[in-house]
Structure 1
């Protein structure tokens, strides 16, 4: 393969066009030259100079580092990485590594949303949002939760998804299920006895632990354990396979059914009682804290979501009062007190091309992904319910086609490297 054809092939990848694999030699170090090859040590090259002043081609390790750095700048859509992995064995090995995925996430910051999950009878149904060639077939990521032959449907629900994992609770079977749609791996966790015995209303979250490696994760389960409204939490570690000690909230409250949001080192849930307040779980201190209801007029939990603030480490809120969507950040004021500050107001009718005069109750926020910094918004216009994914930073949006009547949709975002 000539150097010019190699560069042309790489340029195609950078622009999202598929590369054409070429017949290659057995030695993987000579299979693909990202830059022109210099046959002589005396040739002038910008890559490496010895102490004696001689010019040398870069060593293979440096080549891989540079190549990895360039590959991680490919568009984050699934087809980009798939085409790169098929170019040659070297590229395939680099693209499929855990280190590469970490560098891709650090570079792009926000993962693409592949679609949304909804509860549908016995199945957790995946609804793809991307077009070909990036579209994930629904059957690839959907999950059968209840057996078809059973006389009754289990009492189950989806609690959320994060870091490429999906968390499902099955109260009939008294278990949690952590599902990796990309690999197909499933991890079943028995509910702790104190959550089962009190028949509590539970919510929870899954968080991956990259610092521990080997695909380890933690599950935080919160719920009301008694008639007096005592809320407590436990943390499960996949590394130990055990639940941690019971952690009690400082005062009675009731956790709502909406998924939590991870901000910095904490998880945050809307509370149903006191309505509009926020429950915080801190991974650093392993403690629960209640944050007072934000002093925002006419805040409606069904039209609001806890989001990440502008800097990514502080709390934020997205409040929909159609046709406007207001974004708030929780900041430290001049006197050291925390306060909610309006960052921007967005006119969703103009962004989505919807009528400005739609009646109240026709638009809702149905989901949020901190992995993608995007909300899922529903709009009832005419005889159909439309679903939109709106990225809160770029304001890019997409419409998911179909009819949607559920109150909750879970956007699934990830950097996917695999078959389509």
Structure 2
């Protein structure tokens, strides 16, 4: 019931005096939704969407205090582990453009995370997004820009000067990646890393010469030692994929072959090339390096009539081999379409795909969750292959600093 009444227990003490002593009754139990443990079990199961905790915090001050508690928020992220894909980033006409993907009330305004570079000399190229940060490069200025959109405005900007040997006229930056410095140690859950330390990995190439790499640490503000791989390679412009403690890039060519993937091991600080399966007559825009469901590096291959997921595993003889993990048949209507993988989110475990039919027929895009193989139609089309999905635990609120601590 909404109201409970308890009466004190009365008893006679002593002999025959008729006096009555009052004893306090048992403590009254808290209403279930006022019990912090019970309430926490309920709130932690809310969907990890921008409006969820904001709406629950509006119920009462008690709910609001719990929804803002740092320990609870860490538990919330750990419970869900996989942040939602809020939108995608792209570089367009000198501007970093954010395109929201969620519907109201979780839809984030485009201008909240977009940023213009027109006032800065030179041309900016978007290299990637990961763990709450965007990485851009300006070769004319020999400068990297690390941008944490959640922090808002200039507070989220960090400039990093490119090492001279990467822009000396002989070598040029081929690709790069930004990542949280915490890695996956001690149960750290990515999705709220924008205020912590980070690393940047740059890869530089020169035709017919060894591949170079360096790692920058925001903790020290310095670049590490030069890493060299003797085997000449041509690195593609596709974004990197982080699997475990290694970064992977798609190679256009390596020693006159075109079936390689460049691997940078963050622990051993080494570069190497691994072979990938040969997919005859399938363009690279229909293949993407992904994080396999068993923890290894994987490949998503999208070509009619099948969608396939491959993963690199070590067999009983200790040899690394590629294993076909999952196959799904496509709808017959797609035999006349071009299916392009235009983006991939490691933390969101999702592919962004675009279907185009040509002949003036409008293209459409959708998000595919790899674990469940469920897809969601999007209300816009993405026509290139260099979009960077933005997956994060984000709480809607103040427009300048609205984030989960």
**Same fold, TM-score > 0.5, yes or no:** yes
Cα 1:409/1:3, change in 2 over 3 Å: farther
- Report the Cα distance in structure 2 between the residues aligned to 1:279 and 1:41, rounded to whole angstroms: 72
Matched, 1:344 2:326: yes
Cα 1:96/1:196, change in 2 over 3 Å: farther
Matching residue of 1:201? 173
Matching residue of 1:11? none
Q: In terms of mean alpha carbon deviation, does 374-383 or 296-305 score higher? A: 296-305
Out of 72, 76, 91, the position equivalent to 2:44 is: 72
How far did residue 90 of structure 1 move? 5.3
Matched, 1:167 2:135: yes
Instruction: Give the secondary structure class of the aligned counterpart of 2:331.
Output: helix
Is the contact between residue 97 and residue 110 of structure 2 (CA under 8 Å) also seen in structure 1?
Answer: yes
Cα 1:3/1:140, change in 2 over 3 Å: farther
Indicate the RMSD between aligned Cα atoms, in angstroms.
2.8
Matched, 1:115 2:91: no
Q: TM-score, normalised by structure 2?
A: 0.80
Structure 1 gap segments, 5+ residues each = 5-39, 48-56
Matching residue of 2:26? 42
Cα 1:233/1:121, change in 2 over 3 Å: same
Instruction: State the aligned residue count.
Output: 359
Tell me the alpha carbon deviations over residues 186-243 of structure 1, each in whole angstroms, 9 at most, x when there is no partner.
Answer: 111111111121350321111113479851111111111x443321111111111111
How far did residue 401 of structure 1 move? 2.4
Cα 1:356/1:155, change in 2 over 3 Å: same
Matching residue of 2:112? 140
For the pair shown, the structure with the greater C-alpha radius of gyration is 2
Is the contact between residue 276 and residue 322 of structure 2 (CA under 8 Å) also seen in structure 1?
Answer: no
Structure 2 gap segments, 5+ residues each = 5-23, 400-405
Cα 1:99/1:299, change in 2 over 3 Å: farther
With CA pairs under 8 Å and 6+ residues apart, which has the higher RCO, 1 or 2?
Answer: 2
Is the contact between residue 250 and residue 290 of structure 1 (CA under 8 Å) also seen in structure 2?
Answer: no
- Report the Cα distance in structure 1 between the residues aligned to 2:290 and 2:93, rounded to whole angstroms: 29
Is the contact between residue 94 and residue 123 of structure 2 (CA under 8 Å) also seen in structure 1?
Answer: no
- Report the Cα distance in structure 1 between the residues aligned to 2:72 and 2:66, rounded to whole angstroms: 7
- Report the Cα distance in structure 1 between the residues aligned to 2:65 and 2:272, rounded to whole angstroms: 45
Out of 179, 190, 196, the position equivalent to 1:215 is: 196
Q: TM-score, normalised by structure 1?
A: 0.77
Q: In terms of mean alpha carbon deviation, does 93-102 or 293-302 score higher? A: 93-102
Cα 1:92/1:227, change in 2 over 3 Å: same
Is the contact between residue 89 and residue 387 of structure 2 (CA under 8 Å) also seen in structure 1?
Answer: yes
- Report the Cα distance in structure 2 between the residues aligned to 1:316 and 1:411, rounded to whole angstroms: 18
Instruction: Give the secondary structure class of the aligned counterpart of 2:264.
Output: strand
